């Protein structure tokens, strides 16, 4: 991170020198940002715990208009409907529109548990999922974030570790979970998980392509070989290359979750450029960690292991202009830790940091 800070200071000093010579740039002249120019990336905030009034108000005050949410009939105001019904998707979009926001990504689509596990009933799940894709397209939403983590989704062994300034952060230590018993599904091999994924891709991708939906696979978090006997397969850049090769479709892409790819030990700017040059990054989770996949903790966006300036620069280099949101932020002073990783204040800090990086990168170009 020290290298990153030196690069940033050097870069801003150079920009100041250029500004004094009367140069112009994307955000106005003489080093002044044009307030009418919008963010080049679609910054969003996530709503997984209902329509939080304070969060909505602060988001509007920051001038951030994008929203991300899971598929919830009750949140959409249609509790009697199914998650895949058009009324649910349209209702969610309308709820945010009334708040002056744009619903850009559905993150947390209808269940795929039987499909991921290869259980009876998966074909019915797939039929419902296809209906969901058609409903999303009809409602004007074109990006779906999903994952391949059945039973145990993103997982932490601690949600109240003390981070910088005693903020609460989530953390994972393999030693804390390695001896936990198998789930009711017993051992599920990596080969079985890959086979189940292939079955899903063959059924869904042609329908997603027809509907114009971008399917953005999220990596397994944490990206370790298995938890409680269930293999985790989306754990490396090579795994994502394999997934993309399994079904060549413009609908088959990924959610580039920086924190998870950093946990894998991957070079973040290089990975962004690899997938970005192939137009397969459809959604970004902008976050960072300290440690590795066996033992790590979430961090503030400015004190993790990743050179965040170089990461942001990579998005600009590949021409990415899609949805991006801060993810897994610390819980800060004055907040309850009832939604670990999703506190409001940490999100405000993250968005300010992201905006600063975006402007610095844009001006440097």
Pick the range with the lowest mean pLDDT from 16-20, 117-121, 161-165, 224-228: 16-20
Four-point Cα dihedral 332, 335, 337, 338, nearest 10? -150
Q: How far is CA 222 from CA 126, 171, 312, in A?
A: 26, 10, 23
Residue 219 CA to residue 216 CA, distance in Å, equals: 10
Q: Is the dihedral of CA 75, 81, 83, 86 positive or negative?
A: negative
Of 82, 44, 86, 90, which Cα lies nearest the Cα of 65?
44
Residue 315 CA to residue 319 CA, distance in Å, equals: 6
Residue 174 CA to residue 183 CA, distance in Å, equals: 17
Residue with tokens 């620069």: 313
309-355 confidence digits (pLDDT tens): 999 999 999 999 999 999 999 999 999 999 999 999 999 999 999 99
pLDDT at 187 over 90: yes
Which segments of the chain does DSSP mark as H helices, in order? Answer: 2-20, 53-62, 86-97, 113-117, 122-139, 190-211, 237-246, 258-264, 268-276, 308-317, 344-364
For residue 331, the 8-state DSSP code is B
The pTM score is: 0.90
Query: In 3-state terms, what secondary structure has residue 104?
Result: strand
Residue 251 CA to residue 282 CA, distance in Å, equals: 9
Cβ atoms 296, 175 nearer than 8 A: no
pLDDT at 313 (0 to 100) = 98
Name the percent of the chain lying above pLDDT 70. Answer: 90
Residue 224 CA to residue 339 CA, distance in Å, equals: 24
Cα-flanking dihedrals φ and ψ of residue 169, to 5°? -130, 155
């Amino acid at each position: 991170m020290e290298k990153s800070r030196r690069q940033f200071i050097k870069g801003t000093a150079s920009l100041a020198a250029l500004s004094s010579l009367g140069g112009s740039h994307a955000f106005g002249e003489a080093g002044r940002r044009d307030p009418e120019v919008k963010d080049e990336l679609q910054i969003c905030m996530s709503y997984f715990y209902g329509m939080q009034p304070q969060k909505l108000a602060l988001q509007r005050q920051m001038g951030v208009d994008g929203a991300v949410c899971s598929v919830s009939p009750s949140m959409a105001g249609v509790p009697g409907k199914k998650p895949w019904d058009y009324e649910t998707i349209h209702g969610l979009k309308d709820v945010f529109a009334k708040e002056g926001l744009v619903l850009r990504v559905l993150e947390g689509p209808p269940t795929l548990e039987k499909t991921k596990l290869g259980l009876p009933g998966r074909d019915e799940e797939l039929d419902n999922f296809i209906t969901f894709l058609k409903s999303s397209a009809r409602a004007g939403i074109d990006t779906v974030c999903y994952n391949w983590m059945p039973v145990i989704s993103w997982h932490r062994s601690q949600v109240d570790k003390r981070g910088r300034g005693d903020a609460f952060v989530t953390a994972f230590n393999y030693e804390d979970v390695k001896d936990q018993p198998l789930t009711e599904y017993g051992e599920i091999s990596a080969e079985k998980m890959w086979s189940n994924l292939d079955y899903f891709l063959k059924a869904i991708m042609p329908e997603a392509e027809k509907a114009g939906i971008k399917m953005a696979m999220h990596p397994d978090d944490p990206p370790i070989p298995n938890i409680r006997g269930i293999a985790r397969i989306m754990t490396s850049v090579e795994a994502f290359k394999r997934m993309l090769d399994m079904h060549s479709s413009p609908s088959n892409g990924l959610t580039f979750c920086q924190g998870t790819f950093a946990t894998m030990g991957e070079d973040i700017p290089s990975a962004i450029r690899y997938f970005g040059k192939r137009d397969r990054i459809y959604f970004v989770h902008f976050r960072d960690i300290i440690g590795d996949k066996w033992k790590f903790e979430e961090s503030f966006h400015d004190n993790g292991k990743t050179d965040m300036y170089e990461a942001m620069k990579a998005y600009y280099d590949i021409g990415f202009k899609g949805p991006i949101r801060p993810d897994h932020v610390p819980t800060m002073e004055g907040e309850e830790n009832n939604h670990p990783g999703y506190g409001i204040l940490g999100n405000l800090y993250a968005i300010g940091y992201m905006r600063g990086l975006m402007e610095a990168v844009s001006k440097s170009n």
